[in-house]
Amino acid sequence: MTANALNNTLERGRFGIIAGPCTVESREMILETARGVADGGAVMLRGGAYKPRTSPHSFQGLGVEGLRLLQEAKEETGLPIVTELLDVRDTEHVAEVADVIQIGARNMQNYALLTEAGRTGLPILLKRGLSATLEELLSAAEYVLKEDNPNVILCERGIRTFEGAYRFTLDLMAVPALKGMTDLPVIVDPSHAAGRRDWVLSLSLAAAAAGADGIIVEVHPEPETALCDGAQSLALESFAAYADQVRRVAEIAGRDVSVAL
Ligand code: PEP
Ligand code: MN
**DSSP per residue over 160-229, as a string?**
--S--SSSSB--TTHHHHHHHH-SS-EEE-HHHHHSSGGGHHHHHHHHHHTT-SEEEEEEESSGGG-SS-
Q: Residue whose CA is closest, atom 1 of ligand 1?
A: 22
Task: Please say whether the beta carbons of 78 and 261 come within 8 A.
Answer: yes
Average pLDDT for the chain: 94
**Mean pLDDT, to the nearest integer, of 83-94?**
98
Q: Name the residue of 102, 113, 219 to mutate for ligand 1: max ligand atoms within 8 A of Cβ.
A: 102
Please state, as a whole number, how many other Cβ atoms lie within 10 Å of the Cβ of residue 199. Answer: 17
Does the pLDDT value for residue 9 go beyond 70?
no
Q: What is the pLDDT of residue 259?
A: 76
80: Cβ below 6 Å to ligand 1? no
Q: Name the residue of 60, 84, 108, 227 to mutate for ligand 1: max ligand atoms within 8 A of Cβ.
A: 84
Ligand 2 centroid to residue 23 C-alpha, Å? 7
* CB contact burial 3-39 (16+ within 10 A = b; e otherwise): eebbeebbbeebbbbbbbbbbbbeeebbbbbbbbbbe
152-156 vs 124-127, strand pairing mode: parallel
**Mean pLDDT, to the nearest integer, of 100-104?**
98
* Ligand with the closest atom to the CA of 232: 2
Cα→Cα distances 58→18, 51, 86, Å: 25, 9, 15
Does the pLDDT value for residue 54 go beyond 50?
yes
* Ligand with the closest atom to the CA of 193: 1
Task: Please say whether the beta carbons of 53 and 96 come within 8 A.
Answer: no
Does the pLDDT value for residue 242 go beyond 70?
yes
Considering the entire predicted model, what is its pTM?
0.95
Contacts of residue 30, defined as CB under 8 A and 6 or more positions apart, other chains included, come to 20, 21, 24, 47, 69, 70, 72, 73
- pLDDT confidence bin for 261, thresholds 50/70/90: very low
Q: Name the residue of 50, 189, 191, 218 to mutate for ligand 1: max ligand atoms within 8 A of Cβ.
A: 189
* Ligand with the closest atom to the CA of 216: 1
256-257 vs 152-156, strand pairing mode: unpaired
Distance between CA atoms of 2 and 260, rounded to whole angstroms?
A: 15
Does the pLDDT value for residue 110 go beyond 60?
yes
Does the pLDDT value for residue 1 go beyond 70?
no
Task: Please say whether the beta carbons of 43 and 16 come within 8 A.
Answer: yes
247: Cβ below 6 Å to ligand 1? no
Contacts of residue 259, defined as CB under 8 A and 6 or more positions apart, other chains included, come to 41, 43, 247
Q: Residue whose CA is closest, atom 10 of ligand 1?
A: 105
**Mean pLDDT, to the nearest integer, of 10-17?**
75
- pLDDT confidence bin for 3, thresholds 50/70/90: very low
197: Cβ below 6 Å to ligand 1? no
Q: What is the pLDDT of residue 10?
A: 57
User: What's phi and psi for 234, nearest 5 deg?
Assistant: -70, 145
22: Cβ below 6 Å to ligand 1? yes
